[in-house]
């Protein structure tokens, strides 16, 4: 199984297990910036960590400090291995843009239709710098 | 459509200094948003100086090292510390020093030391129709709705990058066609005594935000202008429960001389007829404490209290000592007045804790209290306090908050009594 996403923000290719979120999330207040653990008690994937995962995001909600939380995850080495979004989320992705300006290595962020997310659930994935998403052996 | 930069913008972005970094950040955001160009801005309000982690401090310091300066008037939203020393912030080292370094870096970038989430009451009021880049959801919604200036919700990093470059992506609420109301929120069926009460505005705001989401709506059925503090409370509550960036009020806000103008002469896509039952349920949702006989603290001032609101607080306290402290959050623009007219001394002597430059939901000020109950009259505090402070919330009017703080247990007056 493979797919080709469009690059939203260029970055380092990533590999890791897929984490497909089943609901949108607020990064500020919903994700622990020190660890990448999902901390929002009302979120279905609460308790799971996005650190090192290929994160499939069905949207973000809430505070415009999402960018600050994502940049903090990058800086502290707890960012997802790659991000997959169905639409460009300018506030969240700004965290990657600014981190890159700071000279920190950022994960690649790609765009993929939401209906394709589910097929990757539970797989070990590779996301290339060109946006190619494939299942690794 | 792809982004086209002017020769000047390209030249700045190609540099190696702080101004170049800011221009690149604005341009990259504009590309992501699909904006065709950048537009000049008249002012900025910066929400990015609140400490969330070391990376934000390092970013601000990088801009300072790169010689960056804001190109337009830029006020600062709250930080994580009370620099005036009115209240004690329990932020520990090393976070405390990093938060202070961050606040200092934003000062060096040329931002005004306003440290308030109500800059529009601290003398920063952009002209009707001007384009600005403001952060902080309540300030954004007030700026758009009540002042009629034009801004999107500018988040951390982009706000300061816009301030330095003096530019913003041309999209969203900067464009007239996106400011038209598509939803009507009709409150004419509500009892006049409710609409005249203080809690009407935060409660209606909370309901409005949940119903409208990110749509632009016009509120109809408001008999008279409720005043700026009421509009401030409405917007703050609406921007907490929904992604509201702009609302209109028929006959009150500047882009709504009447509902038809706000709707641009087009029939609304959605009309919500607000009932007393909807209001009762919205009010109930603001409280999370359930039936309780305890309160551990009272917090008011989200958005930051105006001098008028301090006047109301003092009248309601009527010289009585508090059994439970009231944390009253405000900006230094109001503190200076309170110092001058003696109100600060009088209020502090009775047990009011004045919190300046920051507020109780963004930094640890309230005592650690397992199972603690916080009472507030702010729709915004009610929304954020449970997640950010661990306190359960009891929502009431300012009068209820004062009576409860005086007696040390929850007291609710019946409406109209």
Report residue B82's pLDDT band, with 50, 70 and 90 as the boundaries: very high
A94–B155 CB contact, under 8 Å:
yes
Question: What HEC string does B266-297 produce?
Answer: CCCCEEEECCHHHHHHHHHHHCCCCCCCCCCE
Number of Cβ within 10 Å of residue A123's Cβ equals: 16
Give the CATH number of domain B7-175.
3.30.499
First to last CA, chain A: 11
Pairing of strands A132-135, A124-127: antiparallel
Q: Convert B208-221 to b/e letters by CB count within 10 Å (16 or more is b).
A: bbbbbeebbbbbbb
* CA angle (B143, B145, B149) in 5-degree steps: 45
- A44, with CB counted inside 10 A (0-12, 13-18, 19+), is exposed
Q: What is the mean pLDDT of residues B276-291?
A: 95
CB B224 within 8 A of CB B193: no
Element (H, E) at B46: strand B43-46
CA distance B69 to B31: 24
Pairing of strands B133-134, B43-46: parallel
Nearest one of B71, B51, B73 to B61, comparing CA atoms: B51
Q: What is the per-residue pLDDT for B416?
A: 42
Q: Which two tokens stand for residue B343?
A: 């109100």
Q: What is the per-residue pLDDT for B415?
A: 53
Q: What is the mean pLDDT of residues A39-65?
A: 89
Q: What is the mean pLDDT of residues B371-394?
A: 92
A72–B52 CB contact, under 8 Å:
yes
pLDDT over 70 percentage in chain B: 99
Cβ contacts (< 8 Å) between A34 and chain B: which residues? 53
Pairing of strands A6-9, A2-4: unpaired
Nearest one of B298, B283, B302, B330 to B399, comparing CA atoms: B298
Task: Supply φ then ψ for residue B177, to 5 degrees.
Answer: -65, -20
Q: Which two tokens stand for residue B139?
A: 């300030």
| Structure confidence by residue, pLDDT tens digits, B94-120 | 999 999 999 999 999 999 999 999 999
Q: What is the mean pLDDT of residues A99-127?
A: 97
Q: Return residue ranges of chain B for CATH 3.30.499.10.
A: 288-407
Report residue B409's pLDDT band, with 50, 70 and 90 as the boundaries: very high
Report residue B417's pLDDT band, with 50, 70 and 90 as the boundaries: very low
| Structure confidence by residue, pLDDT tens digits, A6-17 | 999 999 999 999
Q: Which 240-259 residues of chain B touch chain A by CB within 8 A? A: 243
DSSP string, B90-152: -PPTTHHHHHHHHHHHHHHTT-B----S-GGGTT--PPTT-B-EE-SHHHHHHIIIII--B--
CB B146 within 8 A of CB B253: yes
Give the DSSP letter of residue B173: G
CB A113 within 8 A of CB A119: no
CA-based Rg of chain A, rounded to a whole angstrom?
13
Catalytic residues of A: 63
Sign of torsion over alpha carbons A22, A24, A28, A29:
negative
Report residue B330's pLDDT band, with 50, 70 and 90 as the boundaries: very high
B388–A98 CB contact, under 8 Å:
no
Q: What is the mean pLDDT of residues B370-384?
A: 93
Alpha-helical runs (H) found in B1-65: 7-13, 18-33, 54-65
Q: What is the mean pLDDT of residues A19-40?
A: 90
* CA angle (B249, B254, B257) in 5-degree steps: 65
Q: What is the mean pLDDT of residues A109-113?
A: 97
- Residue A42, pLDDT > 80, answer no
Report residue B214's pLDDT band, with 50, 70 and 90 as the boundaries: confident
Q: What is the per-residue pLDDT for B134?
A: 97
Q: What is the per-residue pLDDT for A137?
A: 65
A66–B55 CB contact, under 8 Å:
no
Structural domain that includes position A85:
2-135
- Residue B1, pLDDT > 90, answer no
Q: What is the mean pLDDT of residues B260-289?
A: 97
**Residue recorded with tokens 């938060």:** B99
Q: What is the per-residue pLDDT for B240?
A: 87
Our CA-based measurement puts residue A3 at a distance from the nearest CA of chain B, in whole angstroms, of: 22
Report residue A90's pLDDT band, with 50, 70 and 90 as the boundaries: confident
The total domain count for chain A is 1
Q: What is the per-residue pLDDT for B242?
A: 83
CA distance B311 to B192: 25
- Residue B360, pLDDT > 60, answer yes
Report residue B203's pLDDT band, with 50, 70 and 90 as the boundaries: very high
**Residue recorded with tokens 């996403």:** A5
| Structure confidence by residue, pLDDT tens digits, B118-169 | 999 999 999 999 999 999 999 999 999 999 999 999 988 999 999 999 999 9
Beta bridge partners of B76: B46
Per CATH, which fold does B288-407 belong to?
Answer: Aconitase; domain 3 (3.30.499)
Q: What is the per-residue pLDDT for A8?
A: 95
Q: Which 57-116 residues of chain B touch chain A by CB within 8 A? A: 58-59, 62
CA distance A91 to A66: 7
Our CA-based measurement puts residue A137 at a distance from the nearest CA of chain B, in whole angstroms, of: 33
Q: Which two tokens stand for residue B159?
A: 């706000």
What CATH number does residue A103 fall under?
3.50.30.10
CA distance B166 to B22: 10
Flag whether residue A7 sits within 8 Å of chain B, measured between CB atoms. no
Nearest one of B279, B322, B280 to B300, comparing CA atoms: B322
Q: What is the per-residue pLDDT for A61?
A: 76
Q: Which 33-52 residues of chain A touch chain B by CB within 8 A? A: 33-34
Alpha-helical runs (H) found in B242-378: 259-262, 276-286, 307-317, 332-341, 343-349
Q: Which two tokens stand for residue B311?
A: 């006047």
Nearest one of B152, B116, B153, B145 to B128, comparing CA atoms: B145
Alpha-helical runs (H) found in A1-137: 27-30, 66-75, 90-101
For residue A110, the SS3 value is: strand
Is the model's pTM score more than 0.90?
yes
Number of Cβ within 10 Å of residue B254's Cβ equals: 13
- Mean pLDDT, chain A, integer: 93
Q: What is the per-residue pLDDT for B59?
A: 98
């Amino acid at each position: 199984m493979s797919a080709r996403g469009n690059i939203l923000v260029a970055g380092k290719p990533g590999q890791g297990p897929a984490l497909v979120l089943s609901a949108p999330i607020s990064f500020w207040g919903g994700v622990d910036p020190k660890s990448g653990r999902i901390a929002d008690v009302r979120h279905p994937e609460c308790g799971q960590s996005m650190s090192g995962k290929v994160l499939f995001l069905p949207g973000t909600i809430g505070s415009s400090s999402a960018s600050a939380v994502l940049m903090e995850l990058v800086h502290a080495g707890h960012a997802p291995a790659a991000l997959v979004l169905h639409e460009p989320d300018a506030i969240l992705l700004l965290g990657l843009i600014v981190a890159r300006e700071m000279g920190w290595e950022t994960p690649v962020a790609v765009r993929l239709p939401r209906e394709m997310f589910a097929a990757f659930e539970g797989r070990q994935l590779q996301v290339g710098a060109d946006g190619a998403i494939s299942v690794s052996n | 459509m792809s982004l086209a930069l002017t020769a000047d913008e390209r030249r700045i972005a190609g540099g190696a200094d702080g101004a170049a970094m800011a221009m690149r950040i604005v341009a990259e955001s504009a590309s992501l948003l699909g904006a065709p160009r950048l537009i000049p801005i008249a002012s900025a309000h910066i929400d990015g100086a609140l400490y969330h982690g070391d990376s934000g401090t390092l970013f601000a310091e990088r801009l300072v090292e790169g010689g960056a300066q804001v190109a337009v008037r830029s006020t600062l939203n709250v930080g994580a510390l009370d620099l005036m020393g009115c209240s004690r912030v329990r932020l520990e080292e090393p976070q405390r020093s990093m938060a202070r370094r961050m606040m200092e870096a934003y000062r060096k970038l040329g931002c005004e030391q306003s440290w308030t989430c109500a800059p529009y009451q601290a003398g920063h009021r952009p002209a009707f129709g001007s384009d600005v880049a403001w952060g902080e959801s309540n300030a954004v919604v007030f700026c758009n709705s009540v002042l009629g200036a034009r801004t999107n919700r500018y988040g951390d990093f982009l706000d300061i990058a816009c301030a330095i470059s003096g530019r913003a992506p041309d999209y969203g609420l900067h464009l007239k066609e996106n400011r038209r109301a598509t939803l009507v929120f009709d409150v004419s069926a509500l009892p006049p005594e409710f609409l005249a009460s203080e809690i009407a505005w935060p409660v209606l705001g909370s309901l409005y935000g949940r119903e409208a989401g990110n749509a632009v709506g016009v509120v109809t059925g408001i008999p008279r202008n409720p005043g700026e503090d009421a509009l401030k409370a409405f917007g703050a509550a609406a921007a907490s429960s929904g992604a509201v960036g702009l609302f209109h009020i028929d006959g009150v806000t500047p882009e709504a001389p009447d509902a038809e103008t706000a709707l641009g002469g087009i029939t609304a896509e959605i009309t919500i007829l607000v009932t007393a039952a909807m209001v009762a349920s919205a009010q109930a949702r603001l409280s999370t404490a359930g039936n309780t006989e305890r309160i551990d603290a009272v917090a008011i001032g989200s958005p930051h209290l105006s001098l008028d609101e301090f006047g109301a607080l003092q009248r309601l306290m009527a010289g009585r000592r508090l059994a439970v402290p009231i944390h009253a959050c405000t900006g230094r623009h109001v503190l200076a007045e309170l110092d001058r007219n003696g109100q600060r001394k009088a209020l502090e002597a009775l047990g009011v804790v004045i919190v300046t430059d920051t507020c109780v939901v963004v930094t640890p000020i309230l005592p650690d209290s397992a199972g603690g109950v916080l009472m507030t009259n702010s729709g915004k505090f009610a929304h954020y306090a449970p997640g950010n402070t661990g306190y359960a919330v009891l929502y009431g009017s300012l009068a209820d908050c004062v009576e409860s703080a005086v007696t040390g247990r929850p007291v609710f007056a019946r409406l109209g009594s």
